[in-house]
């Protein structure tokens, strides 16, 4: 008799699981238990986190959550069976039971970004195309054909700041940024003391946000409307339903020290310019490349490429200011206005920002690597930024970007008001839930998070004590620190997808003439280094003397585990003379 009952119960249990699998339904009214250690995260009191999935082979960028709790993730890297990943929690324990990849498309690089659900469609982007697929109720994987909504057909093709985040208004419009193909519109991109082009020709079809029809296939940039300009690089962008405006957090320009060492100190270059939180209205202009926002002075100041010294305002008075300025190089990579009811009232309508973390704060520790919260009311921040979730990097200080175990990237909200966070290095996803008394939540629950601002990856660095190069005074190491470490990092490991490693690669230890040529002439286009593709521009460094070039090249060939022969000044001189002869 017992055996018969057991078999019956087991059959019913299997039947329930099958129905849940087919419909995507489960007990959604009860929040699952958080992991004992919150998946490694530090959160305000009474919040819990559960790890939805520990890693995805394609890693992760942005993500979206459907009304039934299904999760859709934009892969950072190519998957065997698709560029996107779908996850389903069948038994409501907060962890993904089903993981499937889908949607192959060719026009892609490592910066494909967007993943949003809008009016029953799943929208996502590669570097050059915004796609969509119709979602089928109850089905995890979209069954419809892949539609190309916006295609970047610009002849420049792949370039810096190519990512395509998206957002939608309530009138059927889709907003897409076209990032600037340079750092500061210099005549010679990222080259010391090279002046800026004035007017900047790149602003004609880049450096702004364009508006498109969200439901029309096959649009190119000329079919869109230039909505706003003076915006360098965007990965974090969202529509604010409360005041019905587009908001974004812009990546500020780089390399104040490397390009203008006579005007800026290493500390200024680490802290400036601001990552700008912008309210984007029709016709607005935020001043790139002529100006940048200094969050310390709370002013738009003139860029050095256009004659600025770090203090002069000049023409920059005519451009819009951000609603808030964050410290430099934190890398804002997603933005979400919280509309749920699960969290305490202070979070309602406020902005969550994923700061992916800096790569170019050398010679100071890297900074960011956390989820920020900004209280909002009537289209304006009501107070200072707060630390909402931290612990992603798992180390402090973060000397090199490769030291960070996780780097937060995507933010989305589930149907019950839970917040989902995705990260790029392993493809880990967390679900954050509130389990306390919403009526009593306040400063006491936030006190521990406020103290985390004292850690080196969040505090303002001490000009002397936090300078990692305070004991480096001369030679190839010093040159490397000023001109190379901002991209390739102090440990020579680079930044995945952006700046290739110098350690253990034939590009460094192999052909001397090729290496010298890259330093003197620069390098553009996609390259493969140690099995990974990198899309970025290596600027020329012909301004270095033969001795300086030889010193720094010898340094990278004999450090970071490399054991190659030295490069002599006369070898640099010979390579330089050959370039001059060709010209």
Measured distance CA(376)–CA(530) in Å, rounded = 45
> 71 exposed, middle or buried (CB, 10 Å; 0-12, 13-18, 19+)?
buried
Confirm whether pTM is higher than 0.95: no
Say what the pLDDT of residue 305 is: 98
Measured distance CA(334)–CA(317) in Å, rounded = 28
First to last CA, the chain: 94
* Phi and psi, residue 219, nearest 5°: -75, 145
In this structure, the dihedral spanned by the alpha carbons of residues 374, 375, 377 and 382, taken in order and rounded to 10 degrees, is -90
Query: What tokens does 304 get?
Result: 């050095």
Q: What is the DSSP string of 532-547?
A: EEEE--B---TTS-HH
Neighbours of 454 (CB within 10 A): 8
DSSP structural state of residue 571? H
Say what the pLDDT of residue 499 is: 85
DSSP-derived pairing of the beta strands 63-65 and 71-74: antiparallel
Q: Per-residue pLDDT tens for 298-314?
A: 999 999 999 999 999 99
Say what the pLDDT of residue 107 is: 61
> 345 exposed, middle or buried (CB, 10 Å; 0-12, 13-18, 19+)?
exposed
Distance from the Cα of residue 365 to its chain's centroid: 18
Please name each of the domains of the chain with its CATH number.
Answer: 37-454 (2.120.10.30), 475-582 (1.10.760.10)
Measured distance CA(575)–CA(562) in Å, rounded = 23
Say what the pLDDT of residue 469 is: 82
Query: What tokens does 485 get?
Result: 């470490």
Say what the pLDDT of residue 208 is: 98
Say what the pLDDT of residue 580 is: 58
Measured distance CA(252)–CA(236) in Å, rounded = 13
Helices 475-483 + 546-557 axis angle, to 10: 90
Say what the pLDDT of residue 375 is: 96
Q: What is the DSSP string of 453-475?
A: GGSTTTSPPPTTTT-TTTT--SH
pLDDT in tens, the chain (583 residues): 334 444 444 444 444 444 444 444 444 458 999 999 999 999 999 999 999 999 999 999 999 999 999 999 999 887 666 789 999 999 999 999 999 999 988 766 667 799 999 999 999 999 899 999 999 999 999 999 999 999 999 876 678 899 999 999 999 999 999 999 999 999 999 999 999 999 999 999 999 999 999 999 999 999 999 999 999 999 999 999 999 999 999 999 999 998 998 899 999 999 999 999 999 999 999 999 999 999 999 999 999 999 999 999 999 999 999 999 999 999 999 999 999 999 999 999 999 999 999 998 988 999 999 999 999 988 789 889 999 999 999 999 999 999 999 999 999 999 999 999 999 999 999 999 999 999 999 999 999 999 999 999 999 999 999 998 877 656 888 888 888 887 898 888 888 777 889 988 998 998 888 998 888 888 877 788 888 877 767 888 888 888 888 888 988 898 888 988 888 888 888 888 876 555 5
């Amino acid at each position: 008799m017992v055996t018969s009952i057991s078999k019956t119960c087991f059959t019913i249990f299997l039947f329930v699981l099958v129905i849940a699998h087919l419909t995507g339904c489960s007990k959604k009214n009860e929040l699952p238990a958080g992991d004992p250690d919150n998946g490694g995260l530090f959160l305000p009191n009474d919040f819990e986190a559960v790890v939805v999935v520990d890693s995805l082979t394609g890693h992760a960028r942005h993500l979206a959550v459907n009304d039934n709790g299904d999760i859709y993730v934009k892969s950072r890297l190519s998957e065997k069976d698709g560029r996107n990943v779908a996850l389903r929690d069948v038994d409501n324990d907060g962890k993904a039971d089903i993981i499937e990849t889908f949607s192959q498309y060719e026009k892609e690089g490592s910066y494909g970004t967007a993943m949003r659900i809008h009016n029953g469609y799943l929208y996502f982007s590669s570097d050059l195309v915004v796609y969509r697929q119709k979602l089928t109720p109850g089905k995890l994987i979209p069954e419809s054909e892949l539609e190309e909504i916006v295609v970047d057909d610009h002849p420049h093709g792949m370039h810096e700041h190519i990512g395509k985040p998206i957002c939608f208004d309530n009138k059927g419009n889709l907003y897409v940024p076209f990032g600037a193909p340079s750092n500061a519109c210099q005549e010679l991109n990222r080259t010391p003391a090279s002046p800026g082009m004035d007017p900047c020709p790149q602003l004609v079809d880049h450096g702004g946000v364009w508006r498109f029809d969200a439901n029309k296939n096959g649009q190119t940039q000329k079919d869109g409307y230039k909505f706003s300009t003076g915006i360098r690089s965007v990965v974090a962008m969202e529509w604010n339903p409360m005041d019905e405006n587009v908001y974004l957090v812009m990546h500020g320009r780089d390399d104040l020290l490397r390009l203008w060492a006579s005007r800026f100190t290493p500390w200024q270059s680490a802290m400036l310019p601001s990552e700008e939180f912008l309210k984007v209205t029709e016709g607005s202009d935020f001043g790139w490349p002529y100006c940048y926002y200094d969050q310390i002075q709370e002013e738009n100041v003139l860029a050095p490429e256009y004659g600025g010294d770090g203090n002069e305002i000049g023409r920059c008075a005519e451009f819009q200011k951000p609603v808030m300025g964050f410290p430099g190089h934190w890398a804002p990579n997603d933005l979400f206005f919280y509309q749920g009811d699960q969290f305490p009232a202070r979070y309602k309508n406020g902005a969550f920002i994923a700061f992916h973390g800096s790569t170019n704060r050398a010679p100071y520790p890297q900074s960011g690597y956390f989820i920020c919260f900004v209280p909002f009311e009537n289209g304006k921040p009501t107070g200072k930024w707060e630390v909402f979730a931290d612990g992603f990097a798992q180390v402090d200080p973060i000397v090199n970007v490769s030291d960070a175990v996780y780097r937060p990237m995507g933010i989305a909200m589930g149907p019950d008001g839970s917040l989902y966070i995705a990260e790029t290095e392993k493809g880990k996803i967390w679900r954050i839930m509130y389990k306390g008394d919403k009526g009593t939540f306040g400063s006491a629950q936030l006190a521990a998070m406020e103290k985390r601002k004292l850690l080196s990856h969040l505090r303002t660095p001490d000009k002397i004590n936090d300078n990692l190069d305070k004991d480096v005074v001369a030679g190839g190491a010093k040159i490397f620190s000023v001109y190379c470490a901002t991209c390739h990092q102090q440990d020579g490991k680079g930044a995945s997808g952006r700046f290739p490693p110098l350690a253990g690669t034939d590009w460094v230890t192999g052909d001397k003439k090729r290496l010298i040529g890259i330093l003197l002439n620069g390098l553009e286009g996609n390259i493969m280094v140690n099995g990974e593709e990198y899309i970025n521009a290596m600027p020329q460094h012909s301004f270095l003397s033969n001795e300086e070039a030889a010193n720094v090249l010898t340094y990278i060939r004999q450090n970071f585990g490399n054991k190659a022969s030295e490069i002599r000044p006369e070898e640099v001189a010979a390579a330089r003379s050959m370039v001059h002869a060709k010209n």
